[in-house]
Amino acid sequence: MHEFVASREIEAPHSLVWRYISDVAKWPSWLPTVKRVEPLADAGLDVGSKFRVIQPRLRPVVWSVTELNPGRNFVWRSSTPGIAMWANHTVATETRDRSKLVLEFRFSGLLAPIVVALAGSLTRQYLETEVASLRNVAEATARANRAA
């Protein structure tokens, strides 16, 4: 198994950070690593929900939500012959107005070493971009909410 992790402290309330990360269908509006998210049934995030995610430089992947702890984390998985992918999205409360986002991504299976050799640096780059992008959008929203 090959694992990648990225995390950030975010100057925004937990509920706001969770709202952004859990609204998967809206990721393309603020996340440069995602071109399109297509819900394959109900657009809501729930165990069993499936989404086709289209990202630059990658083939489209269908992700199935396998675990959901509302307000805390969700896990989704995808697989093709020889490779399985697992991703966990966690939001933790640090203080009333501060949160921590942790994104974890794993490759496993017979072809995992080859995929990691070919796409490991892109995976790392995308995770870092994703935590930074979420921090930027959540902090901007939190500032706007405080100013209102």
Handedness of CA 84, 92, 17, 41 (dihedral sign): positive
Residue-wise pLDDT tens digits, 42-66: 768 999 999 999 999 999 999 999 9
Q: Any idea what DSSP says for residue 46?
A: -
Distance CA 138, CA 128 (A): 16
Asked if residues 38 and 51 have their Cβ atoms less than 8 Å apart, the reply is yes
For CA atoms 142, 54, 128, 106, give the dihedral sign. Answer: positive
Rounded to two decimals, the pTM is 0.94
Q: On the CB side of 24, how many CA atoms lie within 13 Å of its CA?
A: 24
Whole-number pLDDT of residue 1: 77
